[in-house]
Amino acid sequence: MAGETNFDLVVIGGGPGGYVAAIRAAQLKIKVALVEREHLGGICLNWGCIPTKALLRAAELRHSIDEMKDFGITVSGEVSIDLKAVVKRSRNVAGRLSTGVAHLLKKNKVTVFDDRAVLGKAVSGRREVKLAGGGVLSAKHVILATGARARALPGIEADGSSILTYREAMVPETMPKSLVIIGSGAIGSEFASFYLDMGVEVTLIEAMDRILPVEDAEISDFVKKAFIKRGMKIITGARLAGIDKGKTGVTARFEGGIAPVSADRAILAVGITGNTEELGLEGTKVTVDRGHIVTDQWGATGEPGVYAIGDVTGPPWLAHKASHEGIICVEKLAGEPDVHAIGEGAVPGCTYCRPQVASVGMTEAAAKDAGHDIRVGRFPMLANGKAIALGDDQGLIKTIFDKKTGELLGAHMVGPEVTELIQGYAVARTLEATEAELMQTIFPHPTLSEAMHESVLDAYGRAIHF
C-alpha cells in the first residue's frame, strides 16, 4: 500500500474527527488515505482530553487522601507528590491510546502518511493533495480535519516557562507556588481545579460576568462558590490589558481599574483558533470566518469535493462532536440512506473540574429567550443516598421542559460523576422523550442517576425525596 497515490478519499488530520472519518470510510469500502503531521489521535488524545483527565485523576486522589479520615481510614506520614511520575503517567496514557489508534487504522486498511498535506489543483473531478515530504495524492473527496490550537492574545506571547498554553501547563517540571489562569471555560477551569488540588494558589480570571459562561447561570454560580470554598480566587468581568514578566514571576494587568494580579506563572486559556493556514485554501471557494472553516450540516465547504470537520470548523469544539461529524460527512458523501445531521443542542458538554459539570441542550435563559413556556426541575445531590455514601453530596441536577409539549429542552448538572450521567439525558433528547417517558423509566437504587429522575419529577411537582 505504500506506493498508492490514488484514493476515493483523503483525510488531512488524524485527530478524533479525522481518524474516525477514515475508519468509517474504510468500513463503507471507500479507498481512503489519512495524512497526519504529528501524532495520531490529535490534540485531544495527545495534549487535551485524555492526558488532562489523567492529571485530574491524580489531583482527585490527592484530595481523597485528605478526606479518608471521614471514612475511618488513617493515612500516617507526610503525603508527597512525585510530579515527574504524575506527568509521566499522563503521557503514557496518551501514548497508549495513540498506539491504539494506529492499530485501528491498520486493522481497517487505512493508508497512513506521516506528513503535512496541502490542497492542490482540481483535475477532472479529482483533487490533488501535495505532501510536504514529496509526492502527490489524488482523490475524489478530501476532508480537512486539521484541528485547532490555543488562541493568542494581542501583545501577549506564551514563552513556555512563565506564560503557558495548555501544552506547557500539562507537563510542568516544577509546581509553582502561585498561578493566574486567564479564561474560565472548560480548559481554564480544569487546570484551575488540578493545580489547586495539587497545592497551588490559583487565581482564575474571566472577562465575562461569570465563570464557565457557556453553562447555565445557576450551574456556573454553584461552581464558583465551590471553587471559592476550596480557596481559589476568582475575578470576573476582568478584561486583560497585558501580562508583564519579571524575575520572580508575572503580573496580569486589567482594564477598568481592576487591581493587577501577580503570580509565579500564568496560563492562557482564552479559546482556540482553527489550523487553516498552509492548507492551500487560497484560490478555492473554502470560506474561513474568524479562524474557522465554514461548512454546511454535512461538512461540505464551498469548494466541490472539499469538506471540513471538527475544531477547524465552528463550535462547539469538542472531540465527540468531531467524531460524529466525521461519520456524518463520510456517510453523506458515500450516499448512505438515512443520514442525520447533528441537531440543535444535541452535543453534550463536559468539564472535568471538581465539582464536575455536564450539560446538553438549552440553558434556562436560552429557553426563555427562544419563547418557550418552561417547567424547571431541580434536585440536590445532598438528598441522594449514593452521593452521601460516597462522601460527595455537593451538586445539583437541573432539567428544563417545554410546558406545552413536555419536550426536554435542556439538562444541566454539577457534582459527582455527572460527566458519566449526562448521556442519559442526551439519549432522551435523541429519542425525543418527554417528561412522561422519563418519569415512567425505572432508575436503579442506590445510584447517582436517581437524582436525574427526581429532577424530572420535581419539574412537575412530583419529587419524592426532597
Kindly report the CATH number assigned to the domain that includes residue 213. Answer: 3.50.50.60
Residues 135 and 106 reside in one and the same domain: yes
234 within some domain? yes
Structural domain boundaries, residue 248: 163-270
Examine the domain organization and report whether 141 and 15 are in the same domain.
Answer: yes
Q: Mark whether 263 and 282 lie in a shared domain.
A: no
In this predicted structure, the answer to whether residue 47 has a pLDDT above a threshold of 90 is no
Q: Kindly give, in sequence order, each residue whose CB lies less than 8 Å from that of residue 409, ignoring residues fewer than 6 positions away.
A: 345, 361, 362, 367, 372, 374, 400, 401, 402
Which pLDDT tens digit goes with each residue over 49-89? 888 999 999 999 989 998 898 999 988 888 889 999 999 99
Same domain for 55 and 96? yes
Residue 82 CA: distances (Å) to CA of 59, 86, 133: 12, 6, 41
Query: Could you say which DSSP state residue 372 is in?
Result: -
Q: How many domains does the chain have?
A: 3
Q: Tell me what pLDDT residue 42 has.
A: 84
Do 139 and 283 sit in the same domain of this protein?
yes
User: To which H or E segment does residue 272 belong?
Assistant: strand 272-274
- Active-site residues, by number, are 445
The candidate with the shortest Cα–Cα distance to 144, out of 277, 246, 261, 319, is 277
Pair 33, 101 in one domain: yes
Confirm whether 157 is domain-assigned.
no
* pLDDT reported for residue 212: 98
User: Which spans in 120-185 are helix H?
Assistant: 166-170
- Say yes or no: 277 and 254 in one domain: no
| pLDDT exceeds cutoff 50 at 174 | yes
The reported pLDDT for the residue numbered 157 is 84
- Kindly report the average pLDDT of the chain as a whole number: 95
**pLDDT at site 152:** 85
Average pLDDT over residues 254-260: 92
pLDDT tens, residue by residue, 390-422:
999 999 999 999 999 999 999 999 999 999 999
Q: pLDDT by residue (tens digit) across 349-387? A: 999 999 999 999 999 999 999 999 999 999 999 999 999
Render pLDDT for 440-451 as a digit per residue (tens, 0 to 9).
999 999 999 999
Lowest mean pLDDT among 30-34, 155-159, 381-385: 155-159
Shared domain check, 188 and 290 = no
Does 116 fall in a domain? Answer: yes
The per-residue pLDDT for 91 is 92
Q: Do residues 21 and 113 both lie within one domain? A: yes
Instruction: Give the pLDDT score at 48.
Output: 81
Q: Cβ distance 21 to 322 under 8 Å?
A: no
* Integer Cα distance of 365 and 456 in angstroms: 18
- Is 327 within the bounds of a domain? yes
Q: Where are the alpha helices (DSSP H) in 28-82?
A: 42-47, 49-67
Residues 403 and 432 in one domain: yes
Q: What is the pLDDT of residue 334?
A: 96
Q: Which residue has the higher pLDDT, 44 or 57?
A: 57
What pLDDT shows up at residue 38? Answer: 87
Let me know whether 236 and 91 are in one domain: no
pLDDT at 1: 41
The reply to whether 207 and 258 lie within a common domain is yes
Mean pLDDT of 169-187: 95
Q: What is the mean pLDDT of residues 257-278?
A: 94
What does the block give as the cell for 417?
Answer: 460523576
